[in-house]
Structure 1
Amino acid sequence: MKKILLPLFLSLLCLSALAQTGGRFTLRGVVADSAGAILPEATVMLLLPKDSSLVNFGRASKDGTFEFRNLKRVSYLLKISYVGFIPYQEDVNPKDGEVTDLGKLKMKVLQKELYEVVIKTARAPLSIRGDTVEFDARAFKVPPGSSVEDLLRKLPGVQVDADGNIRAQGEEIKRVTVDGKRFFGDDPKMATKNLPAEAINKVQVFNGKTEQAKATGIDDGKREKTLNLELKDSHKKGGFGKAVAGVGNESRVEGKVSYNRFNDKQQFALLGFGNNTNQSGVARNDYQDFKGSQSFNWDDGDFGFSSGRYYGGDDIALSPNWGNNPAEGFTKNWAGGLNYNYDTKKTKLSTSYFYTQTNSRVGVQSTTQNFLSNDSYITRDNNFTQGFAGNHRPALRFEKEIDSLNSIVLISNSRINLGDTRYEAVQSSVRGENVPVNSATVNNFSDYNSFAMANLLMYRHKSGKKKGRNFAVSLSYNLNNADEDRRLNSVNVFNQDSARNSVINQLNQTQSDRGNFKGSLSFVEPFAKKFTWETFYNYSLRKDKVDRDVFDTEGTVEKVNTFLTRYYSNDFTYNRLGTSVRYSHNGLNLSVGVAGLQFDLKGKFATDQAAGNFTRINRTFFSLVPNVGLNYDLKNNRYLYAEYGLSVREPSITDLQPIVDNSNPLYITEGNPDLLPSSTHNFYGGYQMFNPASFTSFYGNVYYNYNENQIVYNRSIDTETLVTTTKPMNVSGSDSYGGYFGAGLPVIKTKLTVGGNVGLNFSNSIAYVNEVKNETDTKGYNLGARLDFTPSDAFTLYTNANWNINDTKYSINTNQDQTIINSNYNADLNVKMPKEIFFNARLNFRTYKNNQFGFNQKQPILNLSVYKLILKNKKGEIRLTAYDVFKKNLGISQFTNQNFYTERRVSTLSRYFMLTFTYNMRGMSASVKRNGGFF
């Protein structure tokens, strides 16, 4: 694959160089007002007159001059935009000679009465105002039926990877809005993958304030890269959407429907799909949402700096089976959702409901090489998982501006999960020349359901007497309840010690309940022109209760297993009181603060809820937490940032309990009541810049983390039976550091863009194996390159390549040191052919290599599709797609950790064919009430 891509890259670069020579000319000019005064840094664009497609663009210099070099000797349309002036437009015909000088181009002041006429008749393909770049979607052609994601790929300075993640101007897009409103919460992909490109009027990229800054009224200098999709007026007056139906070989089917209706005040969207082609439509952060980490959309509603902030502790609730990657195994998926927004100047309501359902079958073969101080052994695991998972996700966000000084925000998110899982496995361990040591045959079944809800109410008051003074309070209540019934069946054989042989037939019934009340206060006082003082207080009271009943089953008789049956409850109280001083002036934002935090953990446990002799845990921890932050806006789209803080986390109640759990005879766990809280010193800093004239971007960051009293799991391995017993313990001294650097630039604007990145990650982790300290030193190197070639609407090519090198060394058993090299090459080719026929090819070529264990795997995944537009106004599409043409889709992974190396292979859906029909619903007429209502 390298032999193919390298010549391709070089050929395209040579073509671009050749394109810049021979018969070319330079265009110059000066931008001024009607009186002849210079207008600095105006946006200047060159377009082709026939279709207004963008050829080149840039910004005039501070003295008003601009210059375009190496232009083809054809006619152009020159457009110039400047805030407060009527856009300038002129036809340009190159003169004889190498330079065409247009002289001083005078722009007229824009009067209010001409505003609407000018906006409609003199639109520019793009405009640049400060840190905001606005694209006119009409100037960037995509095939009919394309999604917003396809449109974004055409925009200068915007990249979309194979998974739909978006970067603009070198930064990750944190939020995508539609007409400034949320679309299915804050998942950027929901809008870009499901809205049609033809519905978009403009695309705006800008730096928005963080949710924390909006809530407290404190500008912390931090910014979130945001992308807003402005709809066309025609798509605000009726409904639009898409319906897709497809059939394939081996009974493959898929279907999808979306419908949208928007106006100035309201948005309504409906989405539904179903398939048996492993397209789950469930983002990886859905599980995080279930746990509540995204519940408030900003750091759990706590005010103050991030150091020492409490994020929820260890999770006791049961989770759906998110263990397998959505592309692995064989899955059947159904999903559907509704999104409704109501938005006025003082009232904002955002609601959504989404349901996903997955039936999965996953077969895994894994081999693990385990290293001891003077020995090693191999563990093999062949397992099969079949499961069902259903997930309901209602969400609500309500914002109300009571008056100019007072406002409230109410947020409520819920997750309702239910499902079942059947797990079968054959496991074995061998040493030396395949000498068997132990084995297990497992057949487990679980049935679970859970309910989680997170609610937040926040009130903010701004002082009417002193600008900048404000007070904010937040109250929240979270709950997370779950029930699970598990049947455990296994036969365990120990070749060296038959007395350990066992047959397990158990019923495990677990009920877990969690309630968490939180409150937070913030008072901000400006005490000088450039200084602001903030005092904050955070409080949390969490109550956990877990009741686990274990029964040994013999025939129809169930007998309580008193050794494994447990009931425990604990109260966790968290208090943090802190203060910080912030200096803000001329783009520099510097803050210094300190907080005192205290954990109080009280727990009790016994074999039964009615037991009279509970074992109790009563621990109190206190720590001082510093924080220093720097954000510096260097102007001209250049930013510098850095932060140092200390994060502290208490031990989990399960790790503190001195209980031995031997429900798996091959892997025994034990608690440690002497654990201390873990703390990590965190530092990171970076620089980023974006040149809107050349659309060149650069970004780089570095980080360093140092751990004290880190909680790790001491592994004791019986050298005869290879039974592993783990016990948590505190260790200090492990650290990690590294950096990430990237750049992007257009070689030929709107035609050829290249980019690259370098990542460095170094870590030293500490663990104990059989009481022997093992230090694992890992050096990670990541290299990436990207090339986008878009010479015309009829041909586009997007390519990227990544190389990952991980060099791992062990302080014990150094002969097992190893280097893993993984690479990934991607190419996406689109060609427009005659008679509205289009061709698409997507190649994903992966290689996996580990010489230490003779592992060398190559995996080319090629998808091909051809489609034709049909019906009136090109509303229909017929597409034939071949997935995994080479039939090489096999889930492969390899990784190292502490004292072992694992290879993992997963059988998954491979080559199949699909024929689909798509109908695009455009401009569906419907009466819109004068009050803005629908239908």
Structure 2
Amino acid sequence: MRKLSILFALFFSLFMWAQSSISGKIVDEDGKPIPSASVTVEEPGKDAIIAYSITNIKGEYKVTFTTPEQNVDLKIKAFNQKPSQKAVKNENQTQNFTLQPDATEIKEVKLKAKMITKRGDTISYDIKAFESKSDRTLADVLKKIPGIDVNKDGTVLYQGEAINKFYVNGKDLMEGGYGTINNSLPTGAVSKVEVMENHQPVKILQDKVPSENAAINIKLKKAVTMTGRGEVGVGMEPFLYNLKLTPMFFGQKNQWVVNYKTNNNGESVEREGNMLAFGSRWEGRRGQSAGNYWLSVDKASTPNIPEKRYLMNNVHFFSANILTNPFKSKEWELKASTSYTNNAINRDSNRETIYEIDTDFFKAGKITTTESNNLYSNAAKGEIIITKNAKKGFFKNTTTWNGFWNEDRGNTSTRYNMAVPDPTLKDIFIDESLSAPTGIIKNSLSTIIPWKEKLVNFMSYLSYQKDRQTLSAEYENFTDLGSGFDRFDQRISSSTLNANHSASVGFSYKRLTITPEVGLNLSFNEMNSQLFADGNLLGIGYQNNIKWNEINPYTQVGFNYKGNALNLSINLPLNMYGIDYKDLLRSKDSEISKTVFEPTFYGSFDFASFWKVSGYGGLNYRYGDFGSVYDGSILTSPKSLNFRDSNLLPENRNINSSARLEYRNPLNNLFFNVRYSYNDTKKNIITKSRPFASGASAVTLEFIDNNSFSQTESAEIGKYFPKFKTNASVSFTNRDSNSFSILVDQNNVDNYIESKNNAQTVAVKFNNTYFSWMSLDYNISLNWNKNSDDYRNNVNKNSGWNHNLNLFLYPIENHTVGLVWDDVTTSQGATNLRNSFYDLSYQYTWAKKKIDFEIKWLNIGNKKLYETISYNTTYFSTTRNSIEIRPSQVMFTVKFNFK
């Protein structure tokens, strides 16, 4: 926390020393207020705007700026009025203006829209300014806009932080699962992309409770729009197919999106159903549903390259979302959605590990492990949401059902080639299978009711989840876990019932809102497990029948200040944790009863028109989760036997803090941010494992206090150069962290190891559409890593880089030639492994019908393996990993818009 205080002191000392504010009112000669007049502050003798403001409907303005100059020029401009200019001192003051009429007959007007404009907390981007001839969907353009980035999973970031809402024409149809719209909305239907900073999605709280996140609103050209995107493609490998059909409708009362996508060419379209934005806590509880997976097969590695390079899939994904106003009042919205996924994935990888010297863990030699998988999944979801989001009240109820049916297959082989032959080491072969059905139903309710000058909030969340899993493994020559059995069958069934209820009352005084709250969180969990060997149930040491129940009553008070420039949010909760672990087989009962104070703080301050500084700090405690302890051993994977002793329940204390400085100037298209975060975790338990040469491990717990931390510093600057139609950004990240573990060597000695890591990354992004015959996108990131452990006093350094080039040429109207070059390199010592991929495409556009005909040749060099190299400082071992990827393939695709 001391580092955070120093950082804040530095921010304020640099940027608060010369801050001034000028406010006033602008009227015409009749004394009537003039709205939408522009007010700019400029340094004398320079044509450079340092701050600006726009008058409101009452003709009022306020502009805040920072400059070392003693005097500044204040300039006023308004339509049909004579411009006015006045030299004023650099100090806080009031300046009123009366403008004289200046009506002019305009014979011809040519309007040139600004690429980036700012009004209040909303920044608008003209999408045409950033679009190239090869761009077809919103996702193609969004990542080129200054200040905006898109993660590999589709999450949209603004100034490095995930957005909390994704609207289309002001409506939230997708409720966080916006990947479908982002990937299928044609650019031709979009007018502007609006970023709403500090966005509070609950309207009744917008002037009372600040938010640290931004939202994005996609403003369409028409209020009523029927659009969408489709693709039909076939190819050879020996046979490939790709079908995408996504019609959309956006009206003033109704919106809907229907989506069906299927392919076997390496595109994971099913991820479009993932939740990427979670709104505000006042909307209720939202989250991505998943099974509670206790067991897994050994899985082949996946490379750090675009999925289209390696994903061997056969997927079908269907989804439908609808939004309507069911009542006469437009404040009420009904949303319904459903989705279904059927997917099959094949993976293969080979791992070769060379142990350089004899250690207490492994003997010198080479061990080769091959892993192969067939992963089958089915998932279904249904959801109904009814919402009233108005200035005079809020109501939201969400009912969700999820079903997952996963069937995973795998086989693993381990081969030994030791420096000194060891007859006890025989090659190992394992056939594996896992069946894992899951069912989840949940309901979230939140309502905010105005009562006189107060706001009353009730929240309720209920969920029930049932998981059943069966892991089977057949072995040949495998004795590392101390058994001579040929087959294991691990069975687990578990259930979880959660109930969370709270009530709060908000008291407002001017810009301050005080919200006392009381709540009760309940969680009831059960788990049964049995391990069978060669068809026979093993003894009590391999069985579990446990209950893990939590009761968490709490009370808290929140203080929220929402000002024009300053926003503060402080929560002061007092939590009472009661946790009861029962082992019914062993008549064992462990309990935790704690009362703890867990405060959080968030604050932001906007100054000098374009600058913003913000900070966050929090303290929280965790006392384990369901599954963190159990007294019967569980075969969590075919080569991992886990035993988590419950003699002491987990106790973790976590302190986290962050600070951020941002600069967003739409006048010169410049965006900049610096971020710092620090996390400190104190635990009472360390994982203790005994590794085997085959990759197997026996895992238990050791009760030792330990502290781990992570610290990250990052900076990013981006600018759009309109004269050259170029958007460029540079970012840097430095991260330090440590972790603790206990490894048991071959002499049964416990080795307490602290591992430290330092990682640095520099990334450059560049796109250019200056030439009418060419567009270019180029991204490169370079990384350096340093790993060490105090047990061996061994230090290792490695590095790598990853770059992507997308070059499109337009030699003739409606003809496009594309080149894609992906390159990933890892370096370890004198070894450099380079993975280069090249794609070539040709596209003809039937302009009249807006249809594209594309032929694409992927992986021209027919590269079949992706290779990486790494070093383990504890084992003095080098591992070379080879992953099977997609071979060369040719696809012919027809792409079209629905309207």
**TM-score (normalised: structure 2):** 0.80
Cα deviation, residue 399, structure 1: 0.8
Range moving further from structure 2, 144-153 or 360-369: 144-153
Within a 5 Å distance, the mapping from 1:520-531 to structure 2 comes to 520-526=502-508, 528-531=509-512
Distance 1:767 1:510, change over 3 A: closer
Counterpart for residue 706 of structure 1: 680
Corresponding position: 1:460 with 2:448:
yes
Cα deviation, residue 198, structure 1: 1.3
Cα deviation, residue 865, structure 1: 0.9
Distance 1:189 1:630, change over 3 A: same
Within a 5 Å distance, the mapping from 1:840-855 to structure 2 comes to 840-851=818-829, 855=831
Corresponding position: 1:131 with 2:118:
no
Counterpart for residue 540 of structure 1: 521
1:594 alignment partner AA: L
Counterpart for residue 261 of structure 1: 249
Aligned residues: CA RMSD: 4.3
Distance 1:171 1:682, change over 3 A: closer
Cα distance between partner residues in 2 of 1:187 and 1:549: 38
Cα distance between partner residues in 2 of 1:193 and 1:84: 39
**Match of residue 601, structure 1, among 565, 579, 583:** 579
Cα distance between partner residues in 2 of 1:444 and 1:241: 41
Counterpart for residue 50 of structure 1: none
Distance 1:743 1:800, change over 3 A: same
Cα deviation, residue 571, structure 1: 1.6
Q: Check the 8 A contact 1:452/1:478 in 2, yes or no.
A: yes
Cα deviation, residue 873, structure 1: 1.5
- Which secondary structure state, in structure 1, belongs to the residue aligned with residue 752 of structure 2? strand
Distance 1:275 1:584, change over 3 A: closer
Distance 1:505 1:483, change over 3 A: same
2:543 alignment partner AA: T
Counterpart for residue 70 of structure 2: none
Range moving further from structure 2, 510-519 or 338-347: 338-347
Within a 5 Å distance, the mapping from 1:108-257 to structure 2 comes to 108=80, 124-126=113-115, 127-137=117-127, 142-143=132-133, 146-152=136-142, 155=145, 158=148, 166-168=156-158, 172-210=162-200, 219-233=208-222, 236=224, 238=226, 240-257=228-245
Cα distance between partner residues in 1 of 2:297 and 2:279: 22
- Which secondary structure state, in structure 2, belongs to the residue aligned with residue 595 of structure 1? strand
Cα distance between partner residues in 2 of 1:320 and 1:394: 29
Once the two structures are superposed, residues 859-912 of structure 1 have per-residue CA deviations (whole angstroms, 9 ceiling, x without a partner) of 112222111012x71332210101112233644456678946754332121311
Cα deviation, residue 41, structure 1: 10
- Which secondary structure state, in structure 1, belongs to the residue aligned with residue 270 of structure 2? coil
Cα deviation, residue 147, structure 1: 1.1
Once the two structures are superposed, residues 103-157 of structure 1 have per-residue CA deviations (whole angstroms, 9 ceiling, x without a partner) of 99862389xxxxxx99x99673444323323244456665488112234356565
- Which secondary structure state, in structure 1, belongs to the residue aligned with residue 650 of structure 2? coil
> Unmatched 5+ residue regions in structure 1?
1-31, 44-58, 70-79, 86-102, 111-116, 304-308, 608-612, 923-935
- Which secondary structure state, in structure 1, belongs to the residue aligned with residue 862 of structure 2? coil
Q: Check the 8 A contact 2:316/2:341 in 1, yes or no.
A: yes
Cα deviation, residue 249, structure 1: 4.2
Corresponding position: 1:861 with 2:861:
no
- Which secondary structure state, in structure 2, belongs to the residue aligned with residue 886 of structure 1? coil
Cα deviation, residue 427, structure 1: 2.8
Counterpart for residue 381 of structure 1: 369
Once the two structures are superposed, residues 421-467 of structure 1 have per-residue CA deviations (whole angstroms, 9 ceiling, x without a partner) of 11111135676557576453211222221112331011211232x2x
Counterpart for residue 259 of structure 2: 271
Once the two structures are superposed, residues 660-713 of structure 1 have per-residue CA deviations (whole angstroms, 9 ceiling, x without a partner) of 346878543221221331111111111111111101111011111112125431
Cα deviation, residue 501, structure 1: 5.5
Distance 1:431 1:310, change over 3 A: farther
Counterpart for residue 396 of structure 1: 384
Q: Check the 8 A contact 2:432/2:638 in 1, yes or no.
A: no
Corresponding position: 1:424 with 2:400:
no
Q: Check the 8 A contact 1:474/1:519 in 2, yes or no.
A: yes
Cα deviation, residue 509, structure 1: 3.2
Distance 1:324 1:857, change over 3 A: closer
Distance 1:471 1:62, change over 3 A: farther
Cα distance between partner residues in 2 of 1:475 and 1:683: 29
**Match of residue 688, structure 1, among 644, 662, 665:** 662
Counterpart for residue 88 of structure 2: none
Counterpart for residue 13 of structure 1: none
1:419 alignment partner AA: N
Corresponding position: 1:916 with 2:893:
yes
Q: Check the 8 A contact 1:39/1:63 in 2, yes or no.
A: no
2:851 alignment partner AA: G
Distance 1:892 1:218, change over 3 A: farther
Distance 1:167 1:282, change over 3 A: same
Cα deviation, residue 346, structure 1: 1.1
Distance 1:133 1:298, change over 3 A: closer
**Match of residue 568, structure 2, among 587, 590, 594:** 590
Cα distance between partner residues in 1 of 2:607 and 2:236: 55
Cα distance between partner residues in 2 of 1:712 and 1:171: 32
**Match of residue 460, structure 2, among 475, 490, 494:** 475
Once the two structures are superposed, residues 268-317 of structure 1 have per-residue CA deviations (whole angstroms, 9 ceiling, x without a partner) of 2111111111111133994xx6xxxx8975459779xxxxx999999467
Counterpart for residue 645 of structure 1: 618
Counterpart for residue 804 of structure 1: 783
Cα distance between partner residues in 2 of 1:563 and 1:728: 18
Counterpart for residue 787 of structure 1: 766
- Which secondary structure state, in structure 2, belongs to the residue aligned with residue 701 of structure 1? strand
Counterpart for residue 506 of structure 1: 488
- Which secondary structure state, in structure 2, belongs to the residue aligned with residue 190 of structure 1? helix
Corresponding position: 1:765 with 2:739:
yes
- Which secondary structure state, in structure 1, belongs to the residue aligned with residue 182 of structure 2? helix
Counterpart for residue 333 of structure 2: 348
Q: Check the 8 A contact 1:373/1:812 in 2, yes or no.
A: no
Q: Check the 8 A contact 2:765/2:779 in 1, yes or no.
A: yes
Cα deviation, residue 164, structure 1: 5.2
- Which secondary structure state, in structure 2, belongs to the residue aligned with residue 282 of structure 1? helix
Q: Check the 8 A contact 2:410/2:431 in 1, yes or no.
A: yes
Q: Check the 8 A contact 2:444/2:461 in 1, yes or no.
A: yes
- Which secondary structure state, in structure 2, belongs to the residue aligned with residue 149 of structure 1? helix
Cα distance between partner residues in 2 of 1:310 and 1:122: 45
Cα distance between partner residues in 2 of 1:579 and 1:106: 47
Distance 1:827 1:719, change over 3 A: closer
Q: Check the 8 A contact 2:296/2:471 in 1, yes or no.
A: no
Distance 1:284 1:621, change over 3 A: farther
- Which secondary structure state, in structure 2, belongs to the residue aligned with residue 283 of structure 1? helix
- Which secondary structure state, in structure 2, belongs to the residue aligned with residue 198 of structure 1? helix
Counterpart for residue 624 of structure 1: 597
Q: How many residues align?
A: 811
2:824 alignment partner AA: R
1:248 alignment partner AA: M
- Which secondary structure state, in structure 2, belongs to the residue aligned with residue 334 of structure 1? strand
Within a 5 Å distance, the mapping from 1:61-72 to structure 2 comes to 61=41
Cα deviation, residue 606, structure 1: 4.3
1:193 alignment partner AA: N
**TM-score (normalised: structure 1):** 0.77
Q: Check the 8 A contact 2:392/2:450 in 1, yes or no.
A: yes
Distance 1:793 1:151, change over 3 A: farther
Q: Check the 8 A contact 1:318/1:482 in 2, yes or no.
A: no
Counterpart for residue 738 of structure 1: 712
Once the two structures are superposed, residues 143-176 of structure 1 have per-residue CA deviations (whole angstroms, 9 ceiling, x without a partner) of 4881122343565655557765545566654433
Distance 1:592 1:836, change over 3 A: closer
Identity of aligned residues (%): 15
Distance 1:833 1:584, change over 3 A: same
Cα distance between partner residues in 2 of 1:822 and 1:452: 42
Counterpart for residue 627 of structure 2: 654
Once the two structures are superposed, residues 746-792 of structure 1 have per-residue CA deviations (whole angstroms, 9 ceiling, x without a partner) of 34546123221110101122222232221112111111112222204
Counterpart for residue 107 of structure 1: 79
**Match of residue 886, structure 1, among 845, 855, 861:** 861
- Which secondary structure state, in structure 1, belongs to the residue aligned with residue 271 of structure 2? coil
